[in-house]
Amino acid sequence: MSTRVDTFAYDDAIVRKFLWATFIWGLVGFLVGLLIALQLANPVFNFGLEFLSFGRLRPLHTNAVIFAFAGNAIFTGIYYSTQRLLKARMFSDGLSNFHFWGWQAIIVAAALTLPLGFTQAKEYAELEWPIDLAIAVVWVAFAINFVGTMVKRRERHIYVAIWFYIASIVTVAVLHIFNNLSVPAGPLKSYSLYAGVQDAFMQWWYGHNAVAFFLTTPFLGLMYYFMPKAAERPVFSYKLSILHFWTIVFLYIWAGPHHLHYTALPDWASTLGMLFSVMLWMPSWGGMINGLLTLRGAWNKVAEEPVLKFFVVAVTAYGMSTFEGPMLSVKSVNSLAHYTDWIIAHVHTGALGWNGFLTFGMIYWLAPRLFQAPLFSKKLAEVHFWIATFGILLYVASIYSAGITQGLMWRAFDETGRLAYPDFVETVMKLMPMYWVRVAGGSLYILGMLIFGYNILKTWMARPATYEVPLVTAAPLGAQAPEPHAAPAGGLVASFTSVKWHRRWEGAPVFFMVMVVVAVVVASLAEIIPTFLIKSNVPTIASVKPYTPLELAGRDIYIKEGCFNCHSQMVRPLRHETERWGEYSKPGEFVYDHPFLWGSRRIGPDLARLGGKYPDLWHVRHMEDPRSVVQRSIMPPYAHLQRKALDFDQIQSRVDAMVMLGVPYGDAVTNAPAMAREQAQAIAAGIESQGGPAGLADREIVALVAYLQRLGRDVRQLPATASAAPAAAVAPGGGK
């Protein structure tokens, strides 16, 4: 046995940096959330500014809270715990700092590009391709730093928290790369490689696993480290934590299709997603119970320790939202909840309760250690806890009732068999009181955040002039005595359950990573590939043709304004849906939709069958001032579309990108701008003859009108020319 011992210090400076970033971006993300909550309660809060409209800001809110707040919180915890669990300083301080500054730069880029309307239109993957490349580079740097630390670790055994980190790091990389594959059509514009059904499938495979491997597994790793730390006792059952890990890795990756129940996704995929989601209930509750029982015999500490209070609510919220998730994935439940606020309530139980409270608890525990000063005020932490808890309750209670109310109103029939609420806006007005309660709940949560910030700031101000850097000693792995292992018993089972081979695997973290990737990729391929390669999954429809160049430009405006954040384009095959919107949507309708725009929430009506429903002039007036046409509408105004000139020259590059994706564009391959001009003139002339404003032929609004009038037209085989909108069929009084 060697006596060689290393002396080293942990890098806590990087942890402090991530801690501050967590607070700052968290506050920004929450405030943007409050603003968009206000916009739903009263459209005046859109301020008539295109950069502040709901469609532009909603992605900013989701990206900020997921990748900026939760992301930095994860990194805070990972950088603190990994070094200590592996008894090693991070592999490279340079990489740590590159990770930190790179990630913050990406967040700033997101905060600038999203309000400006640069978006890929895929939820939580909105950022355009150059930023996606930057994310990939920074993530790889993080992964190298992490693996490097594992390789030079001085603790042979790898604690379960690290397993969760590894699974998160590799899976997020896979998800990010595959969902963002796209063809650039400009410096900040791209089209998804996939179309329609495949794109939707890929997106929700990504979307759900972003929840799984960004908001769940890394936080579970944090729970398995910081919960025992705060409770000063090991986790209740280590066996259970191992099963928790493997079950989640095996099951989560399949669950995505439950976001697409009753859509044009093949039924088998939807059923598969539902079954795996229901199975997830078990490991999730196993994990919750494991977390809560870690406090066995320490419940008295919960009464006096705010850190533990936050953890108890966090783990309980994990249990609540992972009970609800499987329930919502059951098709019949989903048919009521999909497109409603119920889903918003569900994610906020998880985000505010699980992610938020785990982060707060963790930082209250870390701050005194990182800033080497006692926490400024335990009492304020208690106040934060109660205010934020009350805020969450107000938020979710109101939004649950909003979701269920609207879901029930949509599907209600009167005694004559007609829709009880045919006017969509009526089902929106019903939600207003609940939207105001949400604003109150969210405000309380933000108030708590401010108290938290003050408390941490005061703690930081009491820090020593220079931080003490304690030295740690540990023997490197090579110098440690080989472990005594059990006498080799005979038999297959005995040798399998012996320690020896596991040691070899554990000594090769790269191998472990490869195994996780295999589990994740094989499952993903088995689920997604058939929709690409089995014909019967997406039957083609002969009458479905590509968008004209002008319609394509209009679709880009629809994407830029984030219309898909409030309007779905997917009629489900349910009676109340076909009564309200028309013929249900078919997979073959979307074969040229790069990206798909099915949406996930109906704050406004579905638009899949909009084409030909109203005259062009109706759309012009409606976009200029929605309330002049639909009195109680909460839609933001888009008057700027009548002012801004349409960039006709850009259209060719857009068409070229579509051609690269295999869309048969015929004449438009060389002649797109001229074709677009011609169609724009016809539409503008039509608008003028209907008594509308003149001179719109070179404005963005004509392109958008052309696109909106095209929606659902092909499958119904209506006349294809966009200028043929039924000028005579003036809609009665703006009703829906």
Partner 1 sequence: MKLVDVMSAAGLSIYAIVALVLFMTAFVAIVIRTFAPSQASQHEYDARLPLSDDDQAPAQAGRGVTRG
Contact residues for partner 1, defined by CB under 8 A: 81, 84-85, 87, 155, 157, 159-161, 224-225, 228-229, 232-235, 238-239, 242-243, 246-247, 250, 365, 368-369, 372-379, 458, 461-465, 472, 486, 493-494, 496-499, 502, 519, 522-523, 526, 530, 532-536
Phi and psi at residue 8, in whole multiples of 5°?
-155, 175
Residues 437, 438, 443: CA angle, nearest 5 degrees: 100
- Closer of 487 and 542 to partner 1 (Cβ): 487
Phi and psi at residue 694, in whole multiples of 5°?
-90, 165
What's the rounded Cα separation, in Å, for the pair 709 and 707? 5
- Closer of 8 and 98 to partner 1 (Cβ): 8
User: Nearest approach, Cβ of 555 to partner 1 (angstroms)?
Assistant: 26
Q: CB count, 10 Å around CB of 134?
A: 16
User: Nearest approach, Cβ of 682 to partner 1 (angstroms)?
Assistant: 38
Find tokens 């008594």 and name the residue. 691
**Which residues make Cβ contacts (< 8 Å) with residue 200, sequence separation at least 6?**
260, 263, 264, 265, 590, 596, 598
- Closer of 504 and 535 to partner 1 (Cβ): 535
DSSP string, 32-81: HHHHHHHHHH-GGGGTT-GGGSHHHHHHHHHHIIIIIIIHHHHHHHHHHH
Is the peptide bond between 636 and the residue preceding it cis, with omega within 30 degrees of 0? no
CA separation, residue 252 to residues 220, 258, 286, 554 (Å) = 14, 12, 15, 37
User: Nearest approach, Cβ of 278 to partner 1 (angstroms)?
Assistant: 16
Residue 668 corresponds to which amino acid? Answer: A
- Residue of 8, 165, 3, 17 lying closest to 81 (CA atoms): 165
User: Nearest approach, Cβ of 196 to partner 1 (angstroms)?
Assistant: 15
User: Nearest approach, Cβ of 495 to partner 1 (angstroms)?
Assistant: 10
- Closer of 257 and 637 to partner 1 (Cβ): 257
- Closer of 462 and 514 to partner 1 (Cβ): 462
- Closer of 170 and 651 to partner 1 (Cβ): 170
What's the rounded Cα separation, in Å, for the pair 512 and 146? 13
Residues 370, 376, 382: CA angle, nearest 5 degrees: 105
- Closer of 420 and 661 to partner 1 (Cβ): 661
What's the rounded Cα separation, in Å, for the pair 553 and 559? 10
User: Nearest approach, Cβ of 535 to partner 1 (angstroms)?
Assistant: 5
**Pairing verdict, β 182-186 and 189-192:** antiparallel
- Residue of 94, 78, 62 lying closest to 150 (CA atoms): 78
User: Nearest approach, Cβ of 520 to partner 1 (angstroms)?
Assistant: 12
User: Nearest approach, Cβ of 169 to partner 1 (angstroms)?
Assistant: 20
Residues 414, 418, 420: CA angle, nearest 5 degrees: 50
Give 97-101 contacts, CB < 8 A, sequence gap 24+.
97/14, 98/138, 98/141, 99/75, 99/138, 99/141, 99/142, 99/145, 100/14, 100/17, 100/18, 100/21, 100/75
DSSP string, 251-275: HHTT-GGGGGTTSSS-HHHHHHHHH
- Closer of 160 and 696 to partner 1 (Cβ): 160
User: Nearest approach, Cβ of 86 to partner 1 (angstroms)?
Assistant: 10
User: Nearest approach, Cβ of 618 to partner 1 (angstroms)?
Assistant: 41
- Closer of 115 and 221 to partner 1 (Cβ): 221
User: Nearest approach, Cβ of 158 to partner 1 (angstroms)?
Assistant: 8
- Closer of 81 and 190 to partner 1 (Cβ): 81
- Across the chain, which distance is largest between two alpha carbons, in Å? 94
Checking phi first, is residue 155 left (phi over 0); if not, alpha (psi -120 to 50) or beta? beta
- Closer of 99 and 244 to partner 1 (Cβ): 244
User: Nearest approach, Cβ of 243 to partner 1 (angstroms)?
Assistant: 6
Q: For 615, what's the count of Cα atoms within 13 Å in the CB-facing half-sphere? A: 22
**Which residues make Cβ contacts (< 8 Å) with residue 569, sequence separation at least 6?**
585, 597, 598, 599, 606, 607, 608, 711
- Closer of 370 and 672 to partner 1 (Cβ): 370
User: Nearest approach, Cβ of 481 to partner 1 (angstroms)?
Assistant: 15
- Closer of 379 and 716 to partner 1 (Cβ): 379
User: Nearest approach, Cβ of 18 to partner 1 (angstroms)?
Assistant: 17
User: Nearest approach, Cβ of 498 to partner 1 (angstroms)?
Assistant: 6
Phi and psi at residue 267, in whole multiples of 5°?
-60, -35
- Closer of 393 and 472 to partner 1 (Cβ): 472
- Closer of 473 and 631 to partner 1 (Cβ): 473
- Closer of 497 and 543 to partner 1 (Cβ): 497
Helix (H), strand (E) at residue 8: strand 6-8
The count of residues in the chain is 736
Beta bridge partners of 473: 7
DSSP state of 484: P
**Pairing verdict, β 189-192 and 472-474:** unpaired
User: Nearest approach, Cβ of 307 to partner 1 (angstroms)?
Assistant: 10
Q: CB count, 10 Å around CB of 732?
A: 6
Find tokens 């539409």 and name the residue. 683
User: Nearest approach, Cβ of 457 to partner 1 (angstroms)?
Assistant: 13
- Closer of 112 and 486 to partner 1 (Cβ): 486
Q: For 198, what's the count of Cα atoms within 13 Å in the CB-facing half-sphere? A: 21
Phi and psi at residue 413, in whole multiples of 5°?
-115, 150
- Kindly compute the dihedral angle of the four CA atoms of residues 206, 208, 212, 216, in this order, to the nearest 10 degrees: 130
User: Nearest approach, Cβ of 98 to partner 1 (angstroms)?
Assistant: 26
